[in-house]
């Protein structure tokens, strides 16, 4: 509870001086109380023991006796060597109803003049539909975009389109050379496409890609295909307009299909940047020339060039190749050009990458440093696997995001139909879509990114206490109260705040607990944003919803047809916090469910 820190320091400072503690290291020792029942902030007194030649609990007791309670901190206790400070419930209530808790705006509408950041995420090869593994990137990335906006940062989200690599070349080759019957024939032993996605281009065209991959492993034809593909890749790297246009015609519909899926998850981009841009505009060759002049530069027998990053902290294989023997660039080289361009747009860069990119990212980062640039911040995530093992498009054991979203929606619809018999089909569909997509997002966000997890249908479709619907449900309760009060002619806006303040209210314990969560809301947000860990804020929102439920149980806003204005004020502000927080996580705040 950072808001009371200055007040704690103020009363603590003279007391510590009296004991003979003069330097101010103690300020950094004040931390949120681990035992929430004991206090909001605590000072562990163990470190003073030696200097003062006293037992920690004696020191805590002594300090306690030297400090008087005040209006803000109305409880100071000492136990087990800790000095605990508790904020006054009345002060917290005043603080909250006076509108001091920053609500924030996850849509970025509140200009705060804070940092501006460019977040690159997803950037998946446009060769097939999203499966839930690939989607972890998009969901983490978009959530980070939203949270930064909620926090007040100016954010630009980018998708880096890989429009010139081998994967796109394979797709383009297949579309130009294979007839539908051939593709069906080659893939005859596979599960056929889900009828629902028959006309969705990412699902359609990925079959051409898969068929080509099969042929590339077929000894009787592979030589000619490899040659044709290599020629296309080579031409694209030399900026051949015709080939690049053919590539674009091949992948753009696929990309559109993929974006349709993301759009359903409320994931959007401000800008798409094509990899080929940095080849055709000459940036890549300029960078390669510059890298050639560096001290750590080296040349292989066939003329390929690399940097030896061993002296820059890279372990294992230290050569980082940036130019092939034939003079062309590599993916990483182009990525360096892209990063330099990104730095020209924005000072703070964040990348969302799978853990398989760790080495590559390190190489790019060290090379950027070599050229005088900063390193981007990177959020790495582990892969999602299936109970049967790794997800692999090749083996056919994938769960497509499109299928997951349909299942989630259907599951939600069944649930709504069961418990809300008075809802219309239109309402049910709307609610089911919101609940399904929100639940899918939240299940991925709530887990720490560096933890690999196993996708299980029953977990993905569990809509109880640890899920988005739980949060959404608390929010609809608050909306329902609001609407009932409106019907009685009382709204939050017309309540006279000054009437609520400076009074000694009866504050039930569950309301006090809710207030405590509310005033730490922005502590959690700032930590989540500064450390690029969306799961921390997901947890905060669960706590907020949970404590709102306790408040809802004990504090009847409307009782015998009369509105308790204090309760209404707290409920409304909590409601706004839940709503903005949900938008920050990409969860749909509903009015009813």
Q: Which of residues 450-469 bind RNA (CB under 7 A)?
A: 450-454, 459, 462-466, 469
Binding window for RNA (CB under 7 A); candidates: 133-141, 214-222, 402-410, 477-485: 477-485
CB of 125 to RNA, least distance (A): 5
Of the residues 473, 492, 512, 537, which one makes contact with RNA according to CB under 7 A: 473
Binding window for RNA (CB under 7 A); candidates: 141-149, 259-267, 340-348, 555-563: 555-563
C-beta separation of 118 from 348 below 8 A: yes
Q: Tell me how far the alpha carbon of residue 102 is from its chain's centroid.
A: 20
CB of 127 to RNA, least distance (A): 9
Tell me the CA distances in angstroms from 486 to 107, 138, 161, 476, 562, one per residue in order.
27, 39, 49, 15, 12
C-beta separation of 20 from 63 below 8 A: no
Is residue 313 close enough to count as binding RNA by CB under 7 A? no
3-state helix, strand, coil in the chain (%, to 5): 55, 15, 30
How many whole angstroms separate alpha carbon 397 and alpha carbon 319? 36
Instruction: Spell out, one character per residue from 364 to 383, where the chain touches RNA: x when CB under 7 A holds, - when not.
Output: ------------------xx
Residues from 115 through 174 that contact RNA (CB under 7 A): 125, 162, 164-167
Q: Quick one: 397 or 546, whose CB is closer to RNA?
A: 546
CB of 72 to RNA, least distance (A): 18
Length of the chain as a residue count: 593
Token pair listed for 503: 């009074």
How many whole angstroms separate alpha carbon 430 and alpha carbon 27? 51
Torsion of CA 29, 32, 33, 39, to 10 degrees: 110
Binding window for RNA (CB under 7 A); candidates: 61-69, 80-88, 193-201, 266-274: 80-88
Q: Quick one: 404 or 481, whose CB is closer to RNA?
A: 481
Q: Which helix H or strand E contains 273, and what residues bound it?
A: strand 271-274
Of the residues 3, 73, 76, 82, which one makes contact with RNA according to CB under 7 A: 82
Is residue 591 close enough to count as binding RNA by CB under 7 A? yes
Q: Quick one: 171 or 215, whose CB is closer to RNA?
A: 171
Binding window for RNA (CB under 7 A); candidates: 18-26, 175-183, 202-210, 475-483: 475-483
Is residue 592 close enough to count as binding RNA by CB under 7 A? yes
CB of 419 to RNA, least distance (A): 4
How many whole angstroms separate alpha carbon 291 and alpha carbon 314? 17
Is residue 356 close enough to count as binding RNA by CB under 7 A? yes
The number of residues that bind RNA (CB under 7 A) is: 103
CB of 248 to RNA, least distance (A): 14
Q: Quick one: 197 or 524, whose CB is closer to RNA?
A: 524
Q: Say which residues have a Cβ less than 8 Å from residue 498's Cβ, sequence separation at least 6.
A: none
C-beta separation of 194 from 399 below 8 A: no
Neighbouring C-alpha atoms within 13 Å toward the C-beta of 246: 19
Is residue 437 close enough to count as binding RNA by CB under 7 A? no
Q: Tell me how far the alpha carbon of residue 294 is from its chain's centroid.
A: 37
């Amino acid at each position: 509870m950072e808001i009371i820190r200055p007040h704690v320091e103020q009363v603590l400072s003279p007391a510590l001086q009296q004991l003979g503690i003069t330097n101010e290291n103690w300020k950094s020792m004040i931390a949120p109380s681990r035992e929430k029942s004991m206090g909001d902030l605590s000072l562990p007194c163990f470190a003073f023991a030696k200097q003062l030649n006293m037992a920690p609990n004696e020191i805590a007791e002594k300090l306690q006796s030297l400090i008087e309670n005040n209006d803000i901190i109305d409880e100071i206790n000492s136990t087990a060597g800790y000095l605990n400070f508790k904020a006054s419930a009345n002060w917290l209530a005043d603080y909250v109803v006076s509108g001091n808790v920053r609500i924030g705006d996850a849509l970025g509408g509140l200009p705060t003049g804070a940092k501006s950041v460019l977040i690159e995420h997803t950037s998946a090869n446009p060769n097939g539909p999203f499966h839930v593994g690939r989607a972890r990137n998009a969901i983490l990335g978009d959530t980070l975009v939203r949270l930064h906006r909620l926090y007040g940062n100016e954010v630009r989200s980018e998708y880096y389109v890989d429009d010139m690599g081998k994967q796109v070349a394979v797709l383009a080759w297949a579309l130009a050379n294979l007839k539908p019957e051939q593709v069906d024939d080659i893939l005859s032993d596979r599960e056929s496409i889900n009828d629902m996605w028959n006309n969705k281009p990412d699902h359609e065209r990925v079959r051409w890609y898969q068929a080509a991959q099969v042929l590339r492993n077929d000894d009787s034809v592979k030589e000619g295909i490899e040659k044709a593909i290599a020629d296309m890749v080579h031409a694209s790297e030399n900026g051949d307009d015709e080939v690049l246009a053919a590539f674009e015609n091949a992948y753009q519909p696929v990309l559109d299909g993929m974006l349709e899926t993301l759009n359903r998850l409320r994931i959007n981009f401000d800008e798409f940047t094509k990899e080929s841009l940095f080849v055709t505009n000459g940036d890549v060759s300029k960078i390669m020339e510059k890298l050639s002049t560096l001290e750590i530069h080296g040349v292989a027998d066939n003329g390929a060039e690399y940097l030896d990053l061993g002296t820059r902290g890279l372990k294992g294989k230290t050569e980082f190749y940036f130019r092939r023997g034939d003079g062309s660039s590599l993916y990483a080289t182009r990525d360096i050009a892209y990063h330099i361009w990104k730095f020209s747009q924005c000072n703070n860069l964040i990348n969302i990458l799978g853990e398989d990119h760790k080495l590559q990212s390190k190489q790019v980062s060290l090379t950027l440093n070599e050229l005088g640039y900063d390193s981007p911040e990177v959020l790495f995530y582990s892969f999602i696997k299936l109970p049967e093992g790794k997800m692999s498009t090749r083996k056919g054991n994938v769960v497509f995001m499109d299928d997951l979203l349909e299942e989630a929606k259907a599951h939600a619809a069944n649930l709504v139909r069961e418990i809300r018999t008075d809802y219309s089909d239109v309402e049910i569909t709307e609610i089911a879509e919101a609940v399904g997509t929100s639940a899918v997002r939240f299940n991925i966000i709530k887990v720490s990114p560096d933890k690999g997890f196993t996708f299980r249908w029953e977990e993905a479709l569990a809509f109880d206490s640890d899920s988005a619907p739980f949060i959404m449900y608390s929010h609809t309760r608050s909306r329902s109260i609001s609407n009932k009060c409106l019907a009685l002619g009382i709204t939050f806006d017309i309540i006279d705040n000054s009437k609520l303040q400076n009074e000694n209210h009866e504050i039930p314990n569950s309301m006090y607990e809710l207030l405590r969560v509310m005033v730490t809301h922005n502590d959690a947000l700032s930590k989540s944003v500064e450390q690029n860990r969306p799961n921390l804020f997901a947890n905060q929102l669960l706590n907020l919803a949970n404590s709102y439920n306790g408040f809802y149980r004990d504090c009847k806003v409307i009782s015998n047809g009369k509105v308790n204005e204090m309760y209404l004020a707290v409920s409304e502000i909590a409601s706004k916090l839940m709503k903005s927080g949900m938008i920050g996580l990409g969860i749909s705040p509903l009015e009813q469910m």
